[in-house]
Amino acid sequence: MKSLMSLVLLVSSVSFAAAPRVRAANQQARISQGVRSGALTGPEAARLQAQQNQLDRQRVRDRIDGGGLTHAEAARLDAKQDRLSRRITVQKHDAQRRF
Tens of pLDDT, residues 2-15: 554 554 444 444 44
Asked whether residue 80 is domain-assigned, the answer is: yes
Asked whether residue 36 is domain-assigned, the answer is: yes
Q: What is the 3-state secondary structure (H, E, C) of the chain?
A: CHHHHHHHHHHHHHHHHHHHHHHHHHHHHHHHHHHHHCCCCHHHHHHHHHHHHHHHHHHHHHHHHCCCCCHHHHHHHHHHHHHHHHHHHHHHCCCCCCC
Asked whether residue 5 is domain-assigned, the answer is: no
Asked whether residue 47 is domain-assigned, the answer is: yes
Asked whether residue 3 is domain-assigned, the answer is: no
Note the pLDDT of residue 67.
79
Domain count within the chain: 1
What's the pTM? 0.76
Asked whether residue 7 is domain-assigned, the answer is: no
Tens of pLDDT, residues 52-78: 999 999 999 988 887 788 899 999 999
Domain that residue 87 falls in: 17-92
